[in-house]
Amino acid sequence: MAVHGIDLGTTYSCIASVDDVSRPTVHRNQEDTDTTPSVVFFETPENVVVGQTAKDSAVIEPDLVVSRIKRDMGHEVTRTMHGRPYTPEEISAFVLRKLAADAKTATGVTVDDVVITVPAYFGAAERDATRKAGRIAGLNVIDIISEPIAAAITYGVLNPGQDARILVYDLGGGTFDTTVIALSGGDIEVVCTDGDHELGGADWDDRLVEHLAERFRQEHPDVPDPLDDKQTEQQLRRDAEELKKTLSTRTRHVLRVMHEGRVAKVEIGREEFEALTRDLLDRTIEITRKTLNTARGKGVDGFDHLVLVGGSAKMPAVTEALTKELGVTPRLQDPDLAVAKGAALYAFEETYRRLLSSGDRTDQSRAEEMAARAGLSDGQRQEIAGRTIRTVASRAFGIKATASNTRREYVAHLVNANDALPADVTEGFATLDDFQTRVAIEVMEQAGAVASDVIEDNNKIAEGDLRIPPGKPAGYPIEVTFSLDASGLLHVTAKENETGERLELSVQIGGMSEEEVAESRAALSRVQVS
Amino acid sequence: MLPEQDQEVDLENGLKHLAEQVAREHERAAHREQIIDRLHAENQDLRRGLLQEALTPVRSGLYRLYDTVTREATRRSAHDGDPVVPLLEAIAEEVAEVLARTGAERLEVAPGDEYDPALHRPVGTGPGEDGRVAAVVSDGFRLADQDRVLRKAGVVIGKAPDSAQDGAQDSEGNI
């Protein structure tokens, strides 16, 4: 039984699984690269192309190409292609199907059980949408975990029995995130998370391109701007990318910008490159400091490990600046694959634990088979079985209530941030007026960084009506139960005991219903994905 | 139970335990053998792949040189009889030769070819027959002995004037 971990990224995605020497391995796609652009091209109604070719196709069919769909997860927006509206869940499902199909081609093993990662700031709606994307893709999503937690697993800094505070610095191609995680007594908690979703490695490239063009302009003011010529501009982009890589290993490099038969020789050193992009790096440091301050406010003073994630974290200036500013040497290993690998490790261990503890004889022998295939020794098996990584709620959840004396509307919290998951909480409420025939149940999720009972500081994520038997006076009791599972999915039940009338709500803010998911899974399975 | 019987049971249990342990160890050893086999095979592949990998930066430098010289030759050929053009073309050919010796051969791509996303990287659209290559902007290269495309050819794809829009204008004209 193979379980996979998937890093479903904004610009790139990646799939990994635990191999037969119990190490996480990334599966290359058919184009022979570790990561696949999260770009979907609706070539025809029956054929969808995902990845680099889809990205290239944006030039010829921009209206049929969708990128950065992750930003729309959990929102009610659709894109119409060939006359059919597609939800963000469905578009993401195509990316997942491409990853799964290519992994199968590479290993011969069908991808079925998966763990998908999401940013730490994703709330219940976005997590739910991600899980549904997996279901539409025909996958069995065993869990949804936060990207910084996955990265910390890869770096081996989340060891139960060893409390730790971890700072995760994630600089990707187009986004920057920084998160503080605390592991205490086996509980993993995302203490706080911050970032800039318009800041990434691409900004560093832009600076280099502009610098090279400017040097050419200075030397040859009489010829047209090199950036006005599409071919020269593309060449400069490639040069900038190469230059960035070269300057990671060498300290100086000479580049010749050629345009309109003229040449400008540009010599650039690492220091100069760093000076050109200093403010970008400073912005990441500033956000990191802010995150640490927020963590301090929540009682997490300092950190034990600093781990780097994202391809752009490879720039030597990042390590240097963090070492200088924070006084800690960051850990850096395969930062662009760390999230997918961590998801694979988590998927493997979680499946093993679930099988082992199921109490079913066949499940237990499947667990043994899994361990044998990964070549685990008896000691390692015991270690994994005993390791329980529990997560906590990232935000507070409650229902809208009205104080009977002042008639002030507020949010009554049932689940608080940092409550251990899964959480099951039941609380009693009562009707406000005589002869009320229904009670509106409005489920609220904390919107800001701190929990607040002010309505405006919360988002309504679900609502429904509970019928009340006729002729009841004010104060008629009702019971509300919140159950929040470890991936942050919320089920709400409201009931009154006399007639047994119940109202059940699963959180899907602007999301798809279970029926829609099943329908779309069937409908889209006829679409070819390559 | 007699003491002798007791001992026998102990012994039996011990043996059973030992047999189980040996079986487990055996299973793990067999597993390791399999892995060694696989690692060996992968290592062989890797050696071949590493050679290709080592050539990558050399090739990307040569592609750049080839592109630059080819572009300059094309730009200059606008002026008739520029004596530098044949020289630049010769240099480009020489570079292509060196690339071919590393295994990278030029893709045969010409205007009029049907658009093939496996060989072509569209860089834009221009007037021409719909869905066909209208112009080749940069040559592509393939690894001849593995039949793998190393770099797609940069092409402009033909796009006939939007027929749907024409239709709309026509019907409007008729009304």
Structural domain boundaries in chain A? 3-155+335-388+518-524, 162-332, 397-499
In angstroms, the separation between the Cα of residue B30 and the nearest Cα of chain A is 10
Dist. CA A378–CA A91, nearest whole Å: 43
Q: What is the CATH number of domain A162-332?
A: 3.30.420.40
Handedness of CA A410, A411, A414, A419 (dihedral sign): negative
Which one has a higher pLDDT value, B111 or A461?
B111
Residue B171 has pLDDT above 50, yes or no: no
Put simply, the answer to whether A377 touches B28 (Cβ < 8 Å) is yes
DSSP A436-490: --EEEEEEEEE-SSS---SGGGEEEEEEEEEE--TTPPTT-EEEEEEEE-TTS-E
Distances from the Cα of B128 to the Cα of A63, A456, B109, B161, angstroms: 20, 57, 16, 9
Which amino acid type is present at position B52?
Answer: Q
What is residue A162's DSSP assignment?
Answer: S
Q: Give the pLDDT confidence score for residue B175 in this predicted structure.
A: 34
* Antiparallel, parallel or unpaired: β B120-126 and B153-158: parallel
- CATH no., domain A397-499: 2.60.34.10
Closest chain B residue to A231, measured at CA? B137
Given pLDDT bands bounded at 50, 70 and 90, which one contains residue B162?
A: low
pLDDT at A421: 78
Which residues in chain A touch residue B58, judged by CB atoms under 8 angstroms apart? none
Beta strands A113-118 and A140-146 are parallel
Check if the beta carbon of residue A147 is closer than 8 Å to that of residue A177: yes
CA distances from B89 to A351, B9, B72 (A): 61, 91, 9
| CB spacing of A261 vs B137 below 8 angstroms | no
List A139's β-bridge partners, or say none. none
Instruction: For chains A and B, count residue pairs whose Cβ atoms are closer than 8 Å.
Output: 54
Tell me how far CA of residue A22 lies from CA of A311, A346, A372, A377, B57, in angstroms. Answer: 24, 12, 10, 10, 33
Integer Cα distance of A92 and A38 in angstroms: 8
pLDDT value for A164: 92
In a mutagenesis test of the A interface, which of B67, B119, B129, B150 is the best target, namely the one with the most A β-carbons within 10 Å?
B67
The DSSP call for residue B25 is H
Q: What angle do CA A325, A333, A196 make, to 5 degrees?
A: 50
- Chain B residues with CB-CB distance to A50 below 8 A: none
Query: H or E segment at A189?
Result: strand A187-196
Q: HSE (CB half, 13 Å, CA atoms) of B91?
A: 16
DSSP state of A421: S
Q: Identify residues of A whose CB sits under 8 angstroms from chain B CBs.
A: 20-21, 32, 49, 53, 56-57, 59-60, 230-231, 234-235, 238-239, 242, 258, 260-261, 372-373, 375, 377-378
Matching CATH topology for A162-332 and A397-499?
no
Q: With cut-offs at 50, 70 and 90, classify the pLDDT of residue B174.
A: very low
- Which residues make Cβ contacts (< 8 Å) with residue A346, sequence separation at least 6? A5, A115, A143, A145, A149, A150, A153, A389
Encoding tokens for residue A346?
A: 């988590």
Q: Under DSSP, is residue B123 helix (H, G, I), strand (E, B) or coil? A: strand
ipTM of this model? Answer: 0.71
- Give B59 to chain A, closest Cα distance, Å: 13
What is residue B79's predicted lDDT score, i.e. its pLDDT?
A: 80
d(CA A349, CA A370): 10
* Contact (CB<8Å) B122/A57: yes
What CATH number labels A3-155+335-388+518-524?
3.30.420.40
pLDDT at B167: 36
CB contact under 8 A, A230 and B123: yes
**CA-based nearest distance A300→chain B, Å:** 44
Count CB-CB contacts under 10 A for residue A295: 23
- Asked if B64 and A21 come within 8 Å (Cβ–Cβ), the reply is no
| Residue A14 CA to its chain's centroid (Å) | 12
pLDDT of B80 > 90? The answer is: no
- Binary contact (A60, B35; C-beta < 8 A): no
Task: Give residue A299's Cα distance to chain centre.
Answer: 25
Q: Which residue of A has its CA nearest to B148?
A: A31
The nearest CA of chain A is from the CA of B1 a distance in Å of: 33
Nearest in space to A123 (alpha carbons), one of A447, A505, A510:
A447
Rounded (5°) CA angle A88-A89-A94: 95
C-alpha distance across the termini of chain A, in Å:
25
What distance in Å separates the CA atoms of residue B5 and residue A507, rounded to the nearest whole number? 65
Structure-token pair, residue A45: 């109604």
Contacts of A137 (CB under 8 A, 6+ apart): A93, A94, A96, A97, A100, A521
CB within 8 Å: B75 and A261: yes
Shortest CA gap A238–chain B (Å): 9
Residue with tokens 């701190």: A450
In angstroms, the CA A263 to CA A255 distance is 10
pLDDT of amino acid A390: 66
Strands A438-446 and A458-467: antiparallel
According to the model, what pLDDT value does residue A186 have?
74
The mean predicted confidence, pLDDT, of chain B is: 84
Q: Are strands A305-309 and A164-171 parallel, antiparallel or unpaired?
A: parallel
Task: Collect all residues of chain A within an 8 Å Cβ-Cβ radius of residue B42.
Answer: none
**Mean pLDDT, consecutive 10-residue segments, chain A of 530 residues?**
91 92 88 93 95 92 94 90 95 97 94 95 84 95 93 86 92 93 83 90 94 96 92 90 87 91 93 94 95 90 94 92 92 93 93 86 88 80 74 83 90 85 90 91 84 89 89 91 80 88 72 82 89
- Per the CB < 8 A criterion, the answer to whether B95 and B65 are in contact is yes
- Closest CB to B27: pick one of A60, A242, A372: A372
Cβ contact A384:A347 at 8 Å: no
pLDDT at A487: 63
Which residues of chain B neighbour A250 with C-beta distances below 8 Å?
none
Phi, psi of A490 (to 5 degrees): -115, 130
Residues from B contacting A (CB-CB < 8 Å) are 24, 27-28, 31-32, 34-35, 38, 60, 64, 67-68, 71-72, 75-76, 115, 117-118, 121-125, 137-138, 148, 152, 157, 159
Q: Helix H segments across A137-200? A: 147-154
Dihedrals phi, psi of A337, to nearest 5 degrees: -110, -5
CA atoms in the 13 A half-sphere facing the CB of B46 = 6
Residue-wise burial string across A420-450, b where 16 or more C-beta atoms lie within 10 A, e elsewhere: ebebebeeebebeeeeeeebebbbbbbeeee
Q: How far apart are the first and last CA of chain B?
A: 111
CB distance B103 to B12 below 8 Å: no
d(CA B72, CA B79): 12
**What does the alpha-carbon distance between residue A123 and residue A455 come to, in Å, rounded to a whole number?**
17
